[in-house]
Amino acid sequence: MNIIAFGAHPDDIEIGAGGTIARHVAEGDKVMMVVMTGGEEGGADADTRVKELHESAKILGVHEVVCLGYPDTDVPESPEVIQKLDALVARWKPQRAYLPFTREIHQDHRRTSEQALVACRNLPQILMYEGPSTFPDFEVHYWIDITSTIDKKCVSIAAYGSQGEKEILKIDAIRSLNRFRGFQARGTYAEGFNVFRFIQ
């Protein structure tokens, strides 16, 4: 199965779906990560953040990383952006997409979600992940067990050394959320997703 995952900034996908991405790779699926910005407003320049993105993706086993280089905090909303995302979806031919939740406080996350959703409109499976700026009304419809990949997820997040001690990247907080989602799913560690569409 081919998988595509969208994020607004380097580290967004790993926080929300890094364990799931690693599990897909372990099961033989091919994964593309698409990141809209270089994250240059996040405490380091874009070159540093994108280098960390590639290091993190390598840890997860991702097959291809695309960084579109839009301005951090100002992802544009336009037909041209959707055309670029359309082209990536057409080339990768994914059966499943992961995107940020549509109700996000951060404008880049929201715009990424809305435009990726348009690009993925014909896919059979579209799942939305949670993050630090997700609205509190996020509902989990689907859990994926990441007990076998939680450690790899945490190592991939630790690759973002330029982010220092940011609360959103503290490993104990990430493990705690995934432990709670695992408890909900009657397992150990899990990631929770809001389902837009799921056709098997």
Q: What pLDDT was estimated at residue 191?
A: 98
- Tell me the residue type at 4: I
Element (DSSP H or E) covering residue 51:
helix 46-60
- Distance of alpha carbon 151 from the chain centroid: 17
Residue 83 exposed, middle or buried by CB count within 10 Å (0-12, 13-18, 19+): exposed
Q: Which domains does the chain have, with CATH numbers?
A: 2-198 (3.40.50.10320)
Q: What is the CA radius of gyration of the chain?
A: 15
The confidence band for 46, taking pLDDT boundaries of 50, 70 and 90, is confident
Q: pLDDT tens for residues 56-99?
A: 999 999 999 999 999 999 999 999 999 999 999 999 999 999 99
Q: How far apart are CA 11 and CA 179, in angstroms?
A: 19
125 and 197 Cβ atoms separated by less than 8 Å: yes
CA distance 97 to 73: 23
How far is Cα 13 from Cα 6, in angstroms, rounded to an integer? 7
Residue 41 contacts residue 73 (beta carbons within 8 Å): yes
- What are the structure tokens assigned to 46, written together? 């874009």
Q: What is the pLDDT of residues 123-170, one digit of tens each?
A: 999 999 999 889 999 999 999 999 999 999 999 999 998 877 777 778
Q: Please tell me the distance from the alpha carbon of residue 163 to that of residue 103, in angstroms, as a whole number.
A: 25
Predicted TM-score (pTM) of this structure: 0.95
